Amino acid sequence: MGPVLLQCSLLVVLERRDGAVRTSSLESKSDDLKALLKDEPENTLIVIDDFEIMGGDHALGPVIEEHLRTCRDANGGVLVGCGIDEVAGMYRGVVAQVRKTRTGLVLAPRSSEDGTYLSARLPRSTGGAVPKGRGVMVTTGGWSWVQVPKVD
């Protein structure tokens, strides 16, 4: 199964691509998302862009958290796009679960402090101007600079 896309932004463009299952909106009910995940949850990626619009207390939150636990050692998962400033104020729910994984991509980090949201210590030199698509990939094994190949 392909990704389930929660439409908050331009993800609607991806709905027309091969492998995309469906785009859901913030008005979707938790049962709708559960139905999409029932066949192959361990192979399904949920993509949420602009998570700050959805917020940590959204009705879909518990379903997304359960999916994240289901995919712990599988191919599926949850990809959350959110501004770093917005993440700073979220301490429970989906964001807390994502933080526990200590894995993520911080695009155009503004300072070494941006790594703390994923429990990473970035060098003090972090924060200068970077090309579009440049970021820091954080994993449990450390961090490394990465470049997203297509930025348009």
Given a cut of 50, is residue 1 above it in pLDDT? no
Q: Go through 119-149 and write b for each residue having 16 or more CB atoms within 10 A of its CB, e for each that does not.
A: ebebeeebeeebeeeebbebeeeebeeeeee
Distance, CA of 71 to CA of 29 (rounded, Å): 21
- If DSSP codes are grouped into helix, strand and coil, which group holds residue 79? strand
Residue linked to tokens 């995919």: 71
- What the block records as the tokens of 6 is 């929660």
pTM as predicted:
0.75
Given a cut of 90, is residue 145 above it in pLDDT? yes
Distance, CA of 59 to CA of 51 (rounded, Å): 13
Given a cut of 90, is residue 7 above it in pLDDT? no
Q: In terms of Cα–Cα distance, which of 132, 127, 97, 95 is closest to 113?
A: 127
Q: In terms of Cα–Cα distance, which of 75, 64, 146 is closest to 104?
A: 146
Distance, CA of 68 to CA of 101 (rounded, Å): 10
Tens digit of each residue's pLDDT (9 = 90 or more) over 52-81:
888 778 888 899 999 988 888 888 888 888
Instruction: Determine the longest span between alpha carbons in the chain, in angstroms.
Output: 46
